[in-house]
Amino acid sequence: MVGRGYAIFDTAIGRCGIIWSSTGVVAVQLPEAREIDTRRRIFAVHPEAREQQPPLNAELAIEGIVGLLQGNDPDFSDVSLDAGGVPGFNRRVYEYACTIPRGETRTYHEIAKALGASGAAHSVAQAVAKNPYLLIVPCHRALEAGNYTDRLSPYGGVISKRRLLALEGAHPVASKTLFEVLLPVAPPRPST
């Protein structure tokens, strides 16, 4: 196989995409509202990828993703990832994310501390936001302080961390409301 290939496949939440190279899985694309939008996102990030029959490694990943989205607990340890373009710190974050047990979460600060970079919570958040291996590397288990859920990444599609965690039996706090965002920055009321 030369270059990158991709395939679109059915899951319990819609049609996902997977992109691979000869080295391993390059990215997973969760479904957009319409399949054409999922394909557009793949083309936007990987314009060189061509639709092909997935090789065995990608088939293993697809099987695991389908199972996970049905509520199963797949083992992705045999799936090879192409980490050629992934910065070293991000790799460390992804390796750590793979150790977070199903149904549990860690905050960005906890992950940074575990990596020996306690002041790097923002860098952890950036790495999580750039995770191309959605579901295979469970960065949906990494949350901001307060365990708030948010959008996943450029590959996230329309599904939220909250929904993925619910499939695993975790119950993080729902996304922040406008009130919660504005309250900490609101000026104090004058005393009367």
Total residues belonging to the chain: 192
139 flagged as catalytic = yes
Q: Which residue type is seen at 166?
A: A
Mean pLDDT calculated for residue range 164-181: 60
pLDDT of residue 172 exceeding 50, the answer is yes
Look up residue 95 and give its two tokens. 């390796």
Q: Are 50 and 1 in contact (CB under 8 A)?
A: no
DSSP state of 158: T
Calpha distance 137→67 (Å, rounded) = 15
Residues sharing a CB contact under 8 Å with residue 171, sequence separation 6 or more, in sequence order: 165
Buried residues in 8-46 as b, exposed as e (16+ CB within 10 A): ebebebbbbbbbbbeebbbbbbbbbeeeeebbebbeeeb
Q: Of residues 58, 128, 139, 159, which has the active-site annotation?
A: 139
Mean pLDDT calculated for residue range 31-56: 94
Mean pLDDT calculated for residue range 100-111: 92
* Tens-digit pLDDT profile for residues 120-161: 999 999 999 999 999 999 988 888 876 555 544 445 554 667
Question: pLDDT averaged over the chain?
Answer: 84
Domains and CATH numbers, the chain: 88-157 (1.10.10.10)
Tell me the sheet residues that pair with 25.
20, 81
* Tens-digit pLDDT profile for residues 56-96: 999 999 999 999 999 899 999 999 999 998 999 999 999 99
Q: Name the band, by pLDDT with cuts 50, 70 and 90, for residue 28.
A: very high
What pLDDT score was predicted for residue 163? 74
Residue 150 or residue 25, greater confidence? 25
What pLDDT score was predicted for residue 16? 95
Q: Name the band, by pLDDT with cuts 50, 70 and 90, for residue 3.
A: confident
CA angle 107, 113, 118 (to 5 degrees): 105
Calpha distance 26→23 (Å, rounded) = 8
Calpha distance 91→179 (Å, rounded) = 36
What pLDDT score was predicted for residue 54? 97
